[in-house]
Amino acid sequence: MLKVNHLAKSFKSKTVLNNVSFEADKGQLVHISGANGSGKSTLFKIIAKVLLPDSGDVTMLESKTIGALIENPGFLEFETGLVNLRFLAKLNHNYDEKKVFALMEKFSLDPNDKQPVSKYSVGMRQKLGIIQAVMEDQSIILLDEPTRGLDTDSIDQFIDLLKNLQAENKLIIVASHDYIEGIKYDVLFTLKNGLLS
């Protein structure tokens, strides 16, 4: 479903990805571990097509859509969480209010909360970021450090969400520098010195 072929990327003289290749299929939960600065976000940006590689390419089955949480997601700061999610999904004409309400409630975010996102805590923003990555029924989901800022209850909800997504045959790729207790991955990769092994 997803094929990453010999990706290389440098910023000025700094080589971040050297020759990265892997394949992953629907229904798989994949983990990419790597130290800070090892290139996890860079790899995700190239897969999500917001950054071009210097060489190599990414191929995926046609009709597959990508949802992604990469670094700190940007939101409309003076709008509420619900307005932000509605805005993002409406860009693709893919807004499902019932689904968005259910996801917000799953993560203990009140869809009727009137406070703007600028007042959100780090964890609340992170939860909104996770929701936007999955709310449009995307078939490939990239989650960069998804549990950053989440409390233990929210981590449990996140693990439960991963199980549901896997049951729906999504391909989920999680990148994190540490091991997240309770997640059962199908495939484990490590990104180091520009190489994935």
Applying CB under 6 A, the residues found at the interface with ligand ATP are 11, 16, 34, 36-42, 177
Shortest Å, Cβ 177 to ligand ATP: 5
Residue with Cβ nearer ligand ATP (39 or 53): 39
* Least separation in angstroms between CB 118 and ligand ATP: 23
Question: Are 193 and 19 contacting, i.e. CB atoms less than 8 angstroms apart?
Answer: no
Nearer to ligand ATP, 47 or 171 (CB): 47
HSE-CB at 193 with a 13 A cutoff on CA atoms is 1
Which C-beta is closer to ligand ATP: that of 31 or that of 40? 40
Closest to ligand ATP by CB, 32 vs 103, is 32
Sheet holding 14-24, edge to edge: 14-24, 2-11, 55-60
- Residue 39 vs 129, nearer CB to ligand ATP: 39
Is the CB of 40 or the CB of 104 nearer to ligand ATP? 40
Q: What's the closest the beta carbon of residue 36 comes to ligand ATP, in angstroms?
A: 3
Cβ at position 67, least distance to ligand ATP in Å:
18
CA distance 121 to 127: 10
